[in-house]
Amino acid sequence: MNIQKHASYSATEYEKIAEVPIHYGFIPIKTPRITKDDTALSEALEHIDFKDPISEKIALMRFFINQKFHEQDEPRLFYYSKSTRKKTSGHNFSLDILGSNESIADALLIQTVRATLQAEGFKNLTVHINSMGERDTLMRFEKELGNYLRKHIHTVPDKWRAVFQKNTLEITRCTDVLCESFVTTAPAIVNYLSEPARKHFKEVLEYLESVNIPYTINYNLLANKNVANHTVFEITNEDTGTQLARGFRYGKISKKFGVKKDVPVISASVSYEKPKPKISLVINKKSKPLFYFVHLGPSARLKGLRIIETLREARVPVQHALTYDKISGQMQHAQKSGAKYLIIMGQKEACENSIVVRNIATWKQENIPVSEISKLIKQYK
C-alpha cells in the first residue's frame, strides 16, 4: 500500500509496532470515532454469549463507506490503535481487511498479527482456528447440537443442564472438567460446512502451512453469530496460556448503512501488556517503494506470503496486492506505487521456486532462486 496515496485519512504518526503491518500493506489510520448511532446499532447486533466489540467495527464500516471505498473494486487494509479509558503500558490495536472474500486475506491478516507479536519478542505462539461457515451452517449446527443434548441429557452434570437447555451454544464454551466427555463427543460445526465454506477454510490452512505457522483446529471456537462467518481465530502464547489476539470474518454490517452489496471483512484485535515506552514514528508520505511483488496464479500466491515475510526479515520493503486475483489490477497498483522493480512469480517460477526481478523502466530482468532472495535482492538500488 502507498501511504502517500491515502494522506487524506491516514494517521501522520504511528507506533513503532505498526512497522510490521505497514510492510504487509496495512495503512495506519486515525482511530474511527464511535458515535451514538454506532453504539445503538451495536446493541442490536451484540450477542450475550460473546464479548467481541461490535461498535468499533460499525464505526470502521461507517468510515469505509463515507470514504466511498465500497464503490471501488479494491480491498483496503487498515491499522489503528484502539482508544482505551485505562492507562496501560501495553498495546491495544486492530488490523482489518475490508472488501475481500478471498482466503488469502484471512491468512495475510493472521500472518501479519503473528509476525507483529514475534517482533515484540513473543515466542511459542500458536494459532487456534475454526470455521463457522455461512448462516445456514450455524443453523444446522445449532439444531444438531440441540438433538445431541436431548439424546444425552442424562450424562450432563446437574448444574449444567439448565444452562445448556437455555442456550445450546454454551456446550462449546464449557471448560468444566465435569463436562469434558460430553463436550468432546458433541457435534463440531466444521462437519456442517458447505462445500464453498469447506474450500475457503482448507485454503486458509494451506496458506498458514506455506509460512510454517503452527495451528490447532479448535472445533469449539466461535464468534458473535449475529455477524460472524467463516474464519475465527485466536493467537496465544503457549508458555503462559495468554490470549494475545482474536479475530474473525464478518459481514452484514455494511447493509445497515443502506449499501446494497455486502462488504466482507476479516478483523483482528490485538492486546497485550509490554512495560516499555511506546515509540512514535512520523510517516514519510513522499517515500516510494523500491519493489512490488506480483503473483500470477494460485501457486504463486500461495508462496507469495512466504516471500513477503522473507523480505521483511531481511528488512527489504516491498508492496503487494495479494488480495487481488487479476494481473491487470496488480500492474495498475504497481504503477501507482512508483516502485522501481517488480518481483514476479508466475506458475513457472512457483514450480522452480524462483522469482523474476524486473526493472520497470528498462524491462531488464533476471531470475533469482527464492533460497537466495535475502542476499541477492539487496544489490538493487
H or E element in which residue 146 lies: helix 135-152
For residue 296, CA distances in Å to 25, 208, 220, 350, 370 come to: 19, 19, 36, 9, 16
Instruction: Report which DSSP code applies to 10.
Output: B
161 is in an annotated binding site: no
CA angle 297, 299, 302 (to 5 degrees): 110
Q: What are phi and psi of 255, to 5 degrees?
A: -70, -20
301 is in an annotated binding site: no
Q: How many CA atoms lie within 13 A of 192 on its CB side?
A: 19
Q: What are phi and psi of 147, to 5 degrees?
A: -65, -40
Q: What is the largest CA-CA distance in the chain?
A: 76
Which three cell numbers mark 273?
Answer: 501488556
Give the Cα separation of 193 and 197 in Å (integer).
6
Q: Which of 318, 327, 337 is nearest to 295 (CA)?
A: 327
- The answer to whether residues 256 and 78 touch, using CB atoms and an 8 Å cutoff, is no
Give the Cα separation of 375 and 184 in Å (integer).
49
Between the two ends of the chain, the Cα-to-Cα distance in Å is 20
Instruction: Report which DSSP code applies to 45.
Output: H
Instruction: Extract the annotated binding site for L-histidine.
Output: 85, 96
Instruction: Extract the annotated binding site.
Output: 85, 96
